[in-house]
């Protein structure tokens, strides 16, 4: 599969799902998956979904500025690096963010998120 | 080795070297190493050092805001995610940036940079 297409399809799917139904992100993670969210470390699909679902806002809209990707080594993984902004419901100004994902291939020919690190970029 | 100590020592070493002598960063990369710098894709230690050395400024001072890290899988690698700002000589305002590194172990017990993705975060 074309890595450029994989990266862009993943990013589009991830943020569309995040903005519409965070609980549905669980299918992208596995037990070994790690999320570091603003410095909080969470491991495992269930705990990651619980964390994302518990974030204190109801509405969120991501706007993506850049998507970079590289192969991560012989295991067939791919690193995806995203920058953009997000608009929370009820807030006046969007927030800048950066996020990286390490996608690993599944035996079924798809990918799951092994590593996920998110940071807001305070201006 | 404590991964927290490795990540922090790497970040300190990388930016101190970048700000004092960019050409000396070559020892951190190998032939398989990849750099994506503001969307430009470069591969191999020599080409990466040439790119970093050719950036159109003489003085640069990085200030690190956050350092996050995670193990990247069974190969013993580590992902390091950095946010901060950089002040270029002659410029009035610092620039925000985000950067990720994928460090891989060497047979000598050290690490090299397999993946490096850099983006400025325009306000």
Mean pLDDT of chain B: 95
Secondary structure letter of residue A54 according to DSSP: T
| Contact present, A84 and A71 (Cβ < 8 Å) | no
* Residues of chain A with C-beta less than 8 angstroms from the C-beta of B117: 68, 70, 79, 81, 100
| CA A32/CA B71 separation, integer angstroms | 11
SS3 state of residue A85: strand
**Does residue B1 register a pLDDT over 90?**
no
- Alpha helices (runs of H) in chain A, residue ranges in sequence order: 3-20, 45-53
| Residue A97 pLDDT | 96
Check residue B113 and give its pLDDT. Answer: 98
SS3 state of residue A94: coil
Given a cut of 80, whether residue A1 has pLDDT beyond it is no
pLDDT tens digits, B29-75: 999 999 999 999 999 999 999 999 999 998 999 999 999 999 999 88
What does the alpha-carbon distance between residue B104 and residue B107 come to, in Å, rounded to a whole number? 10
Interface residue of A64, A96, A102, A104 to substitute, partner B, most B CBs within 10 Å: A102
Kindly list the distances between the CA atom of residue B38 and the CA atoms of A59, A77, B35, in Å, as whole numbers in the listed order. 30, 22, 10
Contact list in A for residue B68 (CB cut-off 8 A) is 36, 39, 117, 119
Q: Which band of pLDDT confidence, cut at 50, 70 and 90, is reported for residue B15? A: very high
Least confident range of A56-60, A95-99, B39-43, B47-51: A56-60
The predicted structure's pLDDT at residue A123: 61
The whole-number pLDDT of residue A60 equals 95
Residue B79 confidence (pLDDT): 98
Inter-chain residue contact A81 with B123, CB threshold 8 Å? no
Instruction: Report the pLDDT averaged over residues B87-110.
Output: 94
Distance of CA B118 to the CA centre of its chain: 8
Cα–Cα dist A35/A49, whole Å: 10
- Domains of chain A and CATH, by start: 3-120 (3.10.450.50)
Check A123 against B81: CB less than 8 A apart: no
Is the pLDDT reported for residue B116 higher than 80?
yes
Query: Is residue A30 very low, low, confident or very high in pLDDT (cuts 50, 70, 90)?
Result: very high
Task: Supply A78's token pair.
Answer: 């791919």
Residue B106 has pLDDT above 80, yes or no: yes
Whole-number pLDDT of residue B103: 98
- pLDDT bin (cut points 50, 70, 90) of residue B123 is low
Residue A74: which pLDDT band, with cuts at 50, 70 and 90? confident
Which whole-number Å values give the CA distances from A8 to A61, A66, A82, B31, B104, in the listed order? 17, 10, 10, 27, 26
| Cβ pair B95, B118 in contact under 8 A | no
What average pLDDT does chain A have?
Answer: 95
Indicate whether this complex's ipTM tops 0.90. Answer: yes
Closest by Cα among A103, A119, A107, A106 to A7: A103
CA distance B99 to B121: 10
Report DSSP state, residue B72.
Answer: -
Question: Starting from the edge strand earliest in sequence, which strands make up the sheet with B40-43, in order?
Answer: B40-43, B29-37, B111-120, B95-105, B78-88, B60-71
């Amino acid at each position: 599969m074309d890595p450029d297409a994989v990266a862009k399809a993943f990013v589009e799917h991830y943020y569309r799902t995040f903005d519409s139904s965070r609980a549905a992100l669980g299918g992208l993670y596995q037990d070994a998956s790690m999320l570091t969210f603003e410095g909080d470390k969470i491991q495992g699909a269930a705990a990651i979904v619980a964390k994302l679902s518990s974030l204190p806002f109801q509405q969120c809209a991501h706007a993506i500025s850049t998507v970079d990707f590289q192969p991560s080594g012989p295991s067939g993984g791919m690193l995806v690096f995203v920058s953009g902004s997000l608009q929370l419901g009820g807030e006046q100004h969007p927030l800048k963010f950066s996020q990286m994902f390490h996608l690993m291939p599944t035996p079924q020919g798809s990918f799951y998120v092994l590593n996920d690190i998110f940071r807001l970029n305070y201006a």
